[in-house]
Amino acid sequence: MAKDVDLSSKEWRDLIFEGKNKDFGAYKLRQGSESRHNKAFFYVLIGLVAVCLLIFGYMKYEAYKTQKAEEEAKAKLEQQQKLAQMEAEKEEEKEEEVEQIEIEEVKPEAPQLATQLMTELLLTDTPKEDNEIKANEDIQKDNSVMSTFTQAGSDDINLIKEHKEEVVQEKPREEKKKEEVFTHVEQMPKFPGGDAELYKFISNNLNYPAMAIENNVQGRVVVQFVVTKDGSIGNVKVVRSVDRDLDNEAIRVCKKLPKFIPGKQNGQPVNVWYTLPVTFKLQN
């Protein structure tokens, strides 16, 4: 038998069924086998293409869902930060209204030393006007009159010396300049990896307080802290409270945050206030 013989060809069928009944049975099956094979191959090919399209479409849909969720989370975060920033500014305004003006400490005055003012009136023999003559007559009664003014005080010589040295050596005090903390800068601080990584870190490190779970307490705690020039976190405080346990947990997690990319003003790193909402939500 030659290798190039087509087993599905008409010649091969006629050779096999030579002298046999060709109206039904195996001959008919062999006669339609080529068409069936072609249809089966076509259907399988269509099925494979459909499966590939479904897989590709599903992957695209999942990527779209992920991107949309990230965009919504970013937009929500920006909105929450704006609201939290507005609330923080209102709180600061209230604090500034209530806060008393600090008065510089005044150095106590040195003790007043004892002094005595003495005025001596001398008598003259030459009379002048009548008023002066009468005055001289009154004065002559006691020959001389001493006018004395005494100021009470301390006679301590050491105290006088100290006071003298203090006055001579006194120098103007130098006020220490406090580093300014900005609220808005040209380049705001950023968490490495973006907001998605920031919330991922918070989600992985946040422990829902047991007492809050028992009391079904949930809500959003707004925390504010300073991102320093080197990216470190400091001055963590709650500007919008929900519950003491939730507040403490939010502060604890914020203090664990790694270094940020510091904010910049005029190209220089500066200290910047950063507002972060931390949401506590119980799963049903």
- Per residue in 109-150, pLDDT tens? 555 544 444 434 343 444 444 444 444 455 444 444 444 444
Give the pLDDT of residue 74: 75
Rounded mean pLDDT of 23-39?
68
Domain 181-280 has CATH 3.30.2420.10: yes
Lowest mean pLDDT, pick from 48-52, 71-75, 175-179, 230-234: 175-179
Is residue 96's pLDDT more than 80? no
Look at strands 181-182 and 271-280 and give their pairing: parallel
Which residue do the tokens 């903390």 mark?
A: 181
pLDDT tier for residue 21 given thresholds of 50, 70 and 90? low
* Three-class DSSP category at 209: coil
Looking at 6-67, which runs of residues are DSSP E strands? Answer: none
Share of the chain above pLDDT 90, in %: 33
CB 255 within 8 A of CB 217: no
Look at strands 181-182 and 219-227 and give their pairing: unpaired
Distance CA 67, CA 202 (A): 20
Q: Who wins on pLDDT, 38 or 120?
A: 38
Q: Who wins on pLDDT, 108 or 198?
A: 198
Which whole-number Å values give the CA distances from 74 to 10, 69, 71, 77, in the listed order? 70, 8, 5, 5
